[in-house]
Amino acid sequence: MSRLTSQETPQGLQDDRVRKHLAKRHAAERRFRIYCLLAVAVGIGFLVFLFSDILLKGHKAFLQTYLRLEVELDASDIDPQGTREPETLAGANYLGVLRQALHHRFPEAGDDRQSRRELHRLISTGAEFQLRDRVLADPSMVGAMHELWVLADDDVDMLVKGHLSRDLPEDERRLSNRQIAWIDELDETGDTALKFNTLLFTNGDSREPEMAGILGAVLGSVYAMIVTLLISFPLGVATAIYLEEFAPKNRFTDLIEVNINNLAAVPSIVFGLLGLAVFLNFFGLPRSAPLVGGLVLSLMTLPVIIIAGRAAIQSVPPSIRQAAYGLGATPMQVINHHVLPLALPGMLTGTIIGMARALGETAPLLMIGMVAFIVDLPRSAMDPATALPVQIYQWSDTPERAFVEKTSGAILVLVGFLVLMNGLAVWLRRRWETRW
């Protein structure tokens, strides 16, 4: 009988099976790691594509086209009495002054009504109000010739930025061949310029794209966030402390905990319906007010703050409580002097994340009427206002080409706020986090 080799012995066969099994397991681990990396790469790729598309569409929203004109502020037209009183200066016909400057710049427009109408459309209807404000700020401008940069119409702005095709037939364009020729002439002489769009950050909403801004929506969001913070943070922290430190462990508290966890996953539009039924219909609070928006958003934010607060309290080691009790501290002293200061960074992090989520919500605000067209800037939480996400929603539904650019620009501003808030949460966490 021949002797078995080491590979053919039972021990050798078992070792061979173990090696094959290890090789398969290692191969499976490598494949799993590759799948994870691919998933991360795909996610990052979609994110980069999304933000690149928004950036490409919205970065020019921060620029606005202006036209340079020689404007004569004749005293006989602006202030015939020579009193320089603000009421008189405010009531002058500044639109006629600007149109006269256009006719002086392009005398070939003649007296034809269609030509005059096309020429007048080169400047924005809001340019007269800008000129009025400049004269009111400096009455000495009256009676002299001035070289002024005047706000251009949104169609002119789209042409200068390259969003309006010149190759389309004239009847399919918003600008005629004659208007394009005038704009090209201004461009050749250096009388057109893209300047930083300060109106985007200083104006409220408007039907005219070149005059529309986000300040009213930003103020509405700020007022709503202040109301949300003042309500949700103290209630959320107090609820978390009670459930973790004082509440007995029974079926009732278990039911409360289950409902809090479920509320954190409820769709936001349900909170909007609740706010519509309770705050508007029952209590009769003013519609479209940031106060109501803040109340609705606080209901939505409370579960997030409570869950984060409980997790922060649970992270405090029991030895700290026991040491405080051993020194004769009362339960309230233990909480106020030891547990709460150590858990506060985690609570603040959860609060900021909840507030960031509330800042980006649109559905609950639509249900309480904050979708209304509001031109005036709100001065308090009781004034009618809209919010930045709702403003984005409204602009995205507008057929004007210039509002597409405004929508992407407003999205960039909103994303910037969200990044700052999340960055603040990360900084607070790392700054105040205690390692045991």
Query: pLDDT tens, 276-300?
Result: 899 998 888 888 899 999 999 999 9
The H or E element spanning position 94 is helix 94-105
Contact 79, 89 (CB under 8 A): yes
Sign, CA dihedral 284-286-288-293, equals negative
The predicted pLDDT at position 219 comes to 93
What mean pLDDT comes out for the span 260-265? 86
The predicted pLDDT at position 301 comes to 92
Do 199 and 220 have their domain in common?
Answer: no
Contacts of 159 (CB under 8 A, 6+ apart): 166, 175, 180, 183
Nearest one of 377, 370, 360 to 293, comparing CA atoms: 370
* Residue 86 domain flag: yes
Do 325 and 232 have their domain in common?
Answer: yes
Do 290 and 371 have their domain in common?
Answer: yes
The distance between the two most distant Cα atoms of the chain, rounded to a whole number of Å, is 133
Nearest one of 144, 132, 154 to 66, comparing CA atoms: 154
Whether residue 15 has pLDDT greater than 80:
no
Do 156 and 285 have their domain in common?
Answer: no
Do 156 and 47 have their domain in common?
Answer: no
Indicate the average pLDDT of the chain: 88
* Residue 181 domain flag: yes
- Tell me the whole-structure pTM to 2 decimals: 0.85
User: How far is residue 241's CA from residue 432's CA, in Å, rounded to a whole number?
Assistant: 19
Do 120 and 183 have their domain in common?
Answer: yes
The string of DSSP codes covering 193-249 is: EEEE-THHHH----SSGGG--SHHHHHHHHHHHHHHHHHHHHHHHHHHHIIIIIS--
* Residue 17 domain flag: yes
Whether residue 182 has pLDDT greater than 50:
yes
- Work out the angle between the directed axes of helices 290-314 and 251-263 (0-180°, nearest 10): 120
User: How far is residue 54's CA from residue 217's CA, in Å, rounded to a whole number?
Assistant: 20
Kindly report the number of other CB atoms within 10 A of residue 173's CB atom: 17
Q: Which domain holds residue 346?
A: 215-432
What mean pLDDT comes out for the span 1-7? 49
Which residue, 175, 210, 245, sits at the end of a domain? 210
Counting DSSP H helices and E strands in the chain, the numbers are 19, 3
* Residue 4 domain flag: no
The predicted pLDDT at position 372 comes to 78
Whether residue 13 has pLDDT greater than 70:
no
Task: Give me the count of residues in the chain.
Answer: 436
Q: Which of 168-172, 183-187, 385-389, 432-436 has the lowest mean pLDDT?
A: 432-436
Q: Which of 37-46, 75-84, 208-217, 313-322 has the lowest mean pLDDT?
A: 75-84
Do 205 and 219 have their domain in common?
Answer: no
Do 43 and 92 have their domain in common?
Answer: no
Contacts of 364 (CB under 8 A, 6+ apart): 268, 269, 271, 272, 275, 293, 296, 297, 300
CATH number at residue 224: 1.10.3720.10
User: How far is residue 329's CA from residue 338's CA, in Å, rounded to a whole number?
Assistant: 10
Angle at 87 between CA 83 and CA 92, to 5 degrees: 85
Whether residue 32 has pLDDT greater than 90:
yes
Do 219 and 129 have their domain in common?
Answer: no
Do 196 and 222 have their domain in common?
Answer: no
The predicted pLDDT at position 1 comes to 44
CA distances from 60 to 54, 194, 223, 403, 407 (A): 11, 9, 29, 12, 11
Whether residue 393 has pLDDT greater than 60:
yes
* Residue 1 domain flag: no
Question: Which structure tokens are listed for 183?
Answer: 């704009």
Chain-centroid distance of CA 104 in Å reads 43
What mean pLDDT comes out for the span 55-71? 90
Structural domain total, the chain = 3
The C-alpha R_g of the chain, in whole angstroms, comes to 32
Q: What is the pLDDT of residues 73-126, one digit of tens each?
A: 888 888 888 888 888 888 889 999 999 999 999 988 777 888 889 999 999 989
Which residue, 183, 210, 237, sits at the end of a domain? 210
Q: What are phi and psi of 298, to 5 degrees?
A: -65, -35
The predicted pLDDT at position 197 comes to 92
Q: What is the pLDDT of residues 298-319, one digit of tens each?
A: 999 999 999 999 999 998 888 8
Do 55 and 67 have their domain in common?
Answer: no
* Residue 3 domain flag: no
Sign, CA dihedral 303-306-310-316, equals positive
Angle at 168 between CA 164 and CA 171, to 5 degrees: 100
Do 274 and 220 have their domain in common?
Answer: yes
* Residue 351 domain flag: yes
Q: What is the pLDDT of residues 345-380, one digit of tens each?
A: 888 888 888 898 898 888 888 888 888 788 888 999
* Residue 37 domain flag: yes
